[in-house]
Amino acid sequence: MSIGDNDKNFVEDPRYKQCNKEAIIGSILGILNLIWWYGWGYGLGSKPVSEYKFIMGLPTWFFMSSIVGAILFTVLAFIMVDKFFVDMPLERMTEEEANQYIEGVK
């Protein structure tokens, strides 16, 4: 049996495409969270303390980067999972099940 024989029998699991999509979306959300945190924390937090403005007793930079950011990105994560993630079985699929899965996702 040569390497080419294995390629003929290989059927790529259709869930890989969805998993890659979900991983990319999750990574983008994580990067946006880091940008949000860094922008507010180091953007407003680099001023002298005498120039700070306060929200609920906390410096604005801290409130926006840590409190608002945590709430915002938690809500965005829930929305992301609800809208873009697909509930899929994790067991091994036969070729017939894979074809049914592909038809169901479309």
- Each residue of 51-80: pLDDT tens digit? 889 999 999 999 999 999 999 999 999 999
DSSP run (H or E) holding 101: helix 95-105
Q: How many CB atoms lie within 10 A of CB 76?
A: 13
Best mean pLDDT range from 47-51, 79-83, 99-103:
79-83
Q: How far is CA 44 from CA 31, 40, 91, in A?
A: 19, 6, 49
* Cα gap 68→18, rounded to integer Å: 30
Who contacts 72 (Cβ-Cβ below 8 Å, separation ≥6)? Answer: 36
Q: How far apart are CA 95 and CA 8, in angstroms?
A: 13
User: How confident is the model over 6-59, as pLDDT tens digits?
Assistant: 566 666 777 888 899 999 999 999 999 999 999 998 887 777 888 889 999 999
More confident residue, 89 or 1: 89
Which residue has better confidence, 9 or 85? 85
pTM of the model: 0.74
pLDDT band at 99; cut points 50, 70, 90: confident
Q: Does the structure show a pLDDT above 50 at 1?
A: no
